[in-house]
Structure formats: structure tokens, C-alpha cells
Amino acid sequence: MPEPVIVLDDLTKEFPADPPVRALSAINLRVEKSDYVAVIGPSGSGKSTLLNTLGLLDRPTSGGYRLDGIETTALNDGARTTIRGSRIGFVFQSFHLLPHRSVLENVMLAEVYGAAPRAGRRERAMRALERVRLPHRVDFPPGRLSGGERQRAAIARALLGEPSLLLCDEPTGNLDSQNTGAVLDLFDELRAQGMTIVVITHESEVSDRAGRRVRITDGVLTEE
């Protein structure tokens, strides 16, 4: 068996307060390559904290997190940033596209602060835009795109570093049903190419397409 993409071992995250807020409580989770996992649960239950921890933005208070076989909790901040840039893509509910830049520039800019070499940035951005079926929109400003096209541009930006894991927080929260369907079709295609996807969602349309659903309640994760 290949190494799972994600292995969480009694992962706990507390935020300092009096008493401390336990946002994630002894979570155990394995996610295999090409899995599509929907994370559901009420507001304040720990979903975003889980995504931030998986994305190496937050450090757990205790417990283990192996990503692609690498124990990330032992790494320093620089090594965590490098792994984030090369293995993880983020997609959010708001697209966060710069209004005065073209679609191509928005995708290319994702690498400005990263460790990737300058050379070939435009070609990599074009490839990412082809993967999301947006090559005909490269010169458009985001304002001339539909909501669905904007989210596809944001997904192209997330794909730029050729990540193995896509972390999505309510990716279809701003989309109508037709555009939601288009994004979900795209997720299916990416999975067929080997992408692993973890998506926080309140929408049954999104979680119904997932192979797995996990629920978080008060920081405790249960498999559905």
C-alpha cells in the first residue's frame, strides 16, 4: 500500500484563553491518495482550524500529522512553508482575485512569494488555466468573468505549484447550482488525475459527491 496523503494521530489544537479553547480534540484520520473527503459540522466546531492545520498554517498543540509520509510537526517554520508551497493548494469561498490584473497575472502572482523559479512561470500558469478549462479567459480582468469562472481561476492559482492535496473552505458558497456543478465536475477530473481533496461544506450537493463524509462536533471528528 502506498503511504496515505494525510495521517492525523491524536491531533489536538488548543487556542490560549482562560480556560483554553480546545478547537480540535484527539483527531485520528487517514486520507488516501485521490480521496475526496467532505468535512461537515456546525459553526464554531473546528472545521477551519482543521483545514488550517492540514494546510500547515496552524501548528497542533499535540499529536502527529504526517503529510505524504513526512512528519510535519517536527519541522521548523521554513520547512513547513516549503512543503506548503510544493504540496498544498487552497481554495476559499471568496476568490481573492486582484481586480486590476488579468486572469493569467492573477494565477502567475501565486508564485511571486514562493520558492519556485521565475522561469516558466507563464507556461505553468497557462497549463493550470487549461486544466480548469479557462484558457480563453487569460487576458480578462476578474470582473468580466462569471462567478463560476472566477472560482475556476482561483482553482488554477491553487494548482500552480502542482500540489498533491487541495484544501477547500466552502468553495461553492458563492456559486449558483450550475456553477457549483461545474466546480464539482472539475474536482472529479482532478481526482482522476490523482489529486486528493478535502472540502469543508454546508451543501449536500457538495458532500453527496464525496466518497467520505466526516463530521466535526466541538472539535471531535466522527466518520459518517
Binds ligand ADP by CB under 6 A, chosen from 7, 27, 35, 45:
45
Q: How many residues bind ligand ADP (CB under 6 A)?
A: 11
Question: Which of Mg ion, ligand ADP, none does residue 26 bind (CB under 5 to 8 Å by kind)?
Answer: none
By CB under 6 A, tell whether 46 contacts ligand ADP: yes
- Alpha-carbon Rg of the chain, whole angstroms? 17
185, containing H or E segment:
helix 177-192
Rounded Cα–Cα distance for residues 53 and 143 (Å): 32
Question: By C-beta, is 48 or 82 nearer to Mg ion?
Answer: 48
Binding partner at 116 among Mg ion, ligand ADP, none, C-beta below 5 to 8 Å by kind: none
Q: In this structure, what DSSP letter does residue 42 have?
A: -
Q: Which residues of 136-159 are buried (b: 16+ CB within 10 A; e: fewer)?
A: ebbeebbeebebbbbbbbbbbbbb
Range 79-98, binding ligand ADP (CB under 6 A): none
Determine the Cα–Cα distance for residues 150 and 198; give it in Å rounded to an integer.
20
Q: Give the distance from CA 168 to its chain's centroid.
A: 4
**Between residues 3 and 15, which has the closer beta carbon with respect to ligand ADP?**
15
Q: CB of 187: closest distance to ligand ADP in angstroms?
A: 20
Q: Which residues contact 35 (CB under 8 A, 6 or more apart)?
A: 5, 196, 197, 211, 212
Mark 10-39 with x for binding to ligand ADP (rule: CB under 6 A) and - for no binding: -----x-----x-x----------------
User: Which residue number, 43 or 193, has a Cβ lying nearer to ligand ADP?
Assistant: 43
What is the closest distance, in whole angstroms, from the C-beta atom of residue 218 to ligand ADP in the complex? 9
49 interacts with ligand ADP by CB under 6 A:
yes
Q: How far apart (Å, rounded) are the C-alpha atoms in residues 153 and 98?
A: 11
Q: Applying CB under 6 A, which part among 41-49, 146-154, 157-165, 188-196 lies near ligand ADP?
A: 41-49
- Nearer residue to Mg ion within complex by CB, 8 or 128: 8
DSSP 221: E
Query: If binding is defined by CB under 6 A, does position 48 make contact with ligand ADP?
Result: yes
**Would you say 45 or 106 has its CB closer to ligand ADP?**
45
Query: What is the side-by-side order of every strand in the sheet holding 212-217?
Result: 88-92, 165-169, 196-200, 36-40, 212-217, 220-223
- Give me 160's grid cell: 500552480
Chain positions contacting ligand ADP, by CB under 6 A: 15, 21, 23, 41, 43-49
